[in-house]
Amino acid sequence: MENNFETGVKSNDAAATVYADDYLNKLSGEKIERECRRRLDAGCKTLTVNFADTHIVNSSGVSILLGVIDAAADAGAKIVFSDVKNETVELFEMLGLTNHVEVVPESWQEVTESYK
C-alpha cells in the first residue's frame, strides 16, 4: 500500500482511504468530495473516508458527504465511513446516512485493531 500524505489519501487501485481532516464544517470541505470523486473515477471500488481527525460535522459537512455517497453509488463502489466519533455516528443515524453507507465507529476500530 502506498502512502500519499500530501493529498491525505492512502490507496492501491481497488481501495482508497481519504482523510476527512477537520474541514467538514466549511465550504473548503468540498476538497474532500473532489478527492473522492477523483479516486472513484480512477476505478476505486472500496472507498473509505476516515474521520479520526474530524470533531464536528455540521450541515455543510453532511451535504458534502451526501455528494460522496452519490458519487460512489454512480460508480458502483462500496463506501465506508471509518473512525467516526460517537456523536457523529448518532447524527448519521438520525439523518439516515447509515442507509447508504457502512459506518464504523471509532471505538469499534480500536477493538478490532487490538484483536488483530
Partner 1 sequence: MENQQKLIHTFGALAEIGSEIAQKQNFQQMMRTSLHLLLGSLAIMRGGIARFSRFGHELNMIVVRGLGDEFPLSMNLCDEDERQFLTNGSFPIEVAQAKVLPFFQIYDQSFDKKKIELLVPLVVRDEIVGVILLGEKANGAGYSAYDKEIVGAMARHIGVGIAQRNLLAELERRAAENRQLYDNLRMTYQDTVKAFAAAIDCKDKYTEGHSVRVGKYSEIIARELGWGENETEGAAVAGYLHDVGKLTVERNIINSPMRINAKESAELNKHPAVGYEILMPIHHPFADVPLAAKYHHERLDGRGYPDGLIDREIPYIAKIVNLADSFDAMTTDRPYKRRRPANEVVEDLQRNAGRQFSPELVTAFFKGMLKELTGETKEKRFRRLLGRDYMEAEGIVPMLKNALNGLDGTSSLTLISLD
List of residues contacting partner 1 (CB under 8 A): 27, 58-64, 66-67, 69-70, 90-91, 94-97, 99-100
**Smallest distance, Å, CB 80 to partner 1?**
16
Q: Which is nearer to partner 1, 11 or 71 (CB)?
A: 71
State the amino acid at position 9 in one-letter form: V
**Smallest distance, Å, CB 87 to partner 1?**
8
Q: Using a CB cutoff of 8 Å and minimum separation of 24, what contacts does 104-107 make?
A: 104/80, 106/51, 106/52
- Cell numbers standing for residue 63: 451535504
CA distance 80 to 75: 14
| DSSP bridge partners of 99 | none
**Smallest distance, Å, CB 69 to partner 1?**
8
